Structures are given as structure tokens and as C-alpha cells.
Copies of this chain bind each other. A is one copy, B any other.
Amino acid sequence: MNFDFSDDQKLLQEQARKFLTDKCSRKLVRSVLDNNKNQYSKELWQEVVNMGWTATAIPEEYGGLGLGMLELCVIAEELGRSLAPIPFSSSIYIFAEFLKAYGSEDQKKQYLPKIASGELIGSFAFPETKGTPRTNNINSKVENDKLSGKKLPVNDGQVADVLIVAANSDNNQNHNSLSLYIVETNQAGVEEKLLDTLDPTRPSSQIEFSNVACSVLGEKGEGWSMIQNILNRAAVLFAFEQVGGAQVALDEAKKYSIERYAFGKPIGSFQALKHKMADMYVKNELAKSNAYYGAWALSTDSMELPVAAAGARVSATEAFHYASKENIQIHGGVGFTWEYDCHLFYRRSKLLSLNLGSIRKWKENLISNLEKRNIT
């Protein structure tokens, strides 16, 4: 039994933590929070690119480092801890994974090296309305090889150079034939509008397409299953970000509760808060363990991935939600002020929990995949 990261991976973690403590201060996070016209921290992005993180899991033949998904998990946890305000998840966990899995040789050559080098930022444009994306509420479509439609929210849409867009394909208006298209945003007919959201440190946009050029990704009509697969892969990485965030939320609650006194003693000595933090700890440990299992399934391309990813996602979403909201509660009055950092975690928690689809949807995924597994 070696259900742990390797020594090399642990070294990477240590370096990453040190690096981000240094380069991704709360001041830097707040520079995006307070002015989300900044959209993301360009300095940090450049530093992260310089560290090679964007190249981590991209094969060497496409300009990457050719490391495994476990290394990416390690980085994800640290990015989650530091609340990094950069479009890493959109470009690396999602866009690059779509390309790696379904891109043609030409598409891979065209995009992956620039994604790895940070020259290009990618993202994914999927939902069009509030509510769960379903076959009947995706109306974007491709006619005569031109895409039209309106997507929102597109996380990191305002900084994305290239997008994967889910749309109805041209040869079939049947809604079961969702297809994926690669679309460059630097062309006429693409209009972006920055949205107000709950987490301005990771902004999102509305993007409208009017007859724009696009190239199909993978098989036409296979969009749903490709999306499901990539969301499963991304879910494990998101889970590590969530686990990272949840751990820091607990750490900060703990620290504050030891330093803060009321009724002549540290508030951390009151059972109500102690037990709350014990509950945070339990949820965090379970989430971490479920995330590890997801990492194993992801890194070994196991058949277990759909179940493992959903389990990791559900557990991590719950842990981060609980830790970030109760961290505010433990801070008391200062907890809900703009000045203290508690809300940064609370905002990020909700963003991450919705970004790949809500916890309800992932619970549903988990059970349907368990049913499938039981049948086979």
C-alpha cells in the first residue's frame, strides 16, 4: 500500500507552496478582487508559466514537460490554498485536457505548445442560461461552419484567446448531437462582456458569437460524452483546489481562535468552536482522501474515474463550503468585513463548487456511474 504522493511529488509540493507564499500574497489576490478589470494577475501568471506549471501535464512532443496528472494535482492543491487569481484551471485543467484527449494532430500542434508556454489562454464555453445545461437549453449552433450563439458564464472568458464551445452541429439540428468547436476569440463577431460575479478574483464573461469561424473538435455529435469525460478529469483537479482552500480556511480559523480572547480565555477553548473545527477537520480529511482516490484514478486512466471523480468532487465541495462559511462564523464580527480575508475563501468556494456544475449534479453523476459499474 502506497496511497500517497511520491517523494518527488512532495518536493514539488513544498516548492510550490513556498513559491506561492512568496509570489501570491493576499495583497496580490486583492489587486484583482478590488479591480476586476484587472481580470487576472499577469505577474503571477508569468511567474507560474516560468515555473513550467502550465506545461506540467502536456506531452513533451507538444512543448510540455510530460509529467503526470499527479503532479498537476499537487499544483492544484497549492493554487487552491493561495487563491491564485489566474486562469489556470480554464486553460490547463479544461482546455488543454480537451485538446489532449480529442484534438487532431494539427490542433494539438497548433494550440498545446502555446498553452504550455502560457502564450495562449484557453477556456470552455458551455452553459447559456441559469439552470443545469441540458439538451434542450443549448441553443448555440454551427451553420455553414460558422458558429452563432450566446454563452454565459464563461469563466476566464475575458482573457481567453481560444475557446472550446459546445454547440449544435451543422449537419444535425437534433439536440442530441451536441458538438464541440475550437473558436479563437480574436476575430470579428466575438463579443465579450465582463460579468459581476460572486468571486471577482476569478472573473467570468458573457460571450456572444455571430457567425464566427470555428473548427470542430473530435467527433461531431459526441459532445456530451466528451464534455462528461473532461469534466470528470477536471473535477479531480478542482477537488484538489477545493481541498487546499478548505485546509487554509481551517488553519486561519484555528489561528484566530487561539489568538482571540473572550470571557477571559481564547475562544478556541470553547467547545462550540472546538467541535466546529473538529467537524471541519473531519470533512477536510475525508475530502483529501477522496481526492487522493480521484488522483489515482486520473493518473492511471482507470475505469473507476467517473465514480472516483464524482466522489472527490462531492466530498471536496462539501468540505470547502463548510470550512469557508464556518471560518467566517468563528471570526465573528470581523469575519464578514471586507478587510479580513475570510470572504475570499467563501467566494472562491462557491465559484469552484458551481464552475463544473453543482454538487447536486455530481451526486447524481456518482450514483448513475455506480449503477453502471454494478451492471457491468
Contact = CB atoms under 8 A, between A and B. Distances in A.
Nearest to A275: B272
A135 to B, nearest CB: 26
A324 to B, nearest CB: 21
A186 interface: no
A144 interface: no
Contacts of A271: 270-272
A281 to B, nearest CB: 16
A272 B272 CA distance: 6
Contacts of A270: 271
Interface in A137-165: none
A271 B274 CA distance: 10
Interface in A228-274: 270-272
Interface in A261-293: 270-272, 275
A275 B271 CA distance: 10
A270 B275 CA distance: 12
A275 B273 CA distance: 11
A188 B369 CA distance: 53
A275 B275 CA distance: 11
A93 B270 CA distance: 47
Interface string A170-199: 000000000000000000000000000000
Contacts of A275: 272
A257 to B, nearest CB: 13
Contacts of A272: 271-272, 275
A272 B271 CA distance: 6
A271 B268 CA distance: 12
A243 to B, nearest CB: 27
Nearest to A273: B271
A271 B270 CA distance: 7
A198 to B, nearest CB: 29
A270 B271 CA distance: 7
A271 to B, nearest CB: 4
Nearest to A270: B271
A270 to B, nearest CB: 6
A337 to B, nearest CB: 26
A269 to B, nearest CB: 10
Interface string A327-369: 0000000000000000000000000000000000000000000
Interface of A: 270-272, 275
5 contacts: A270-B271, A271-B271, A271-B272, A272-B272, A272-B275
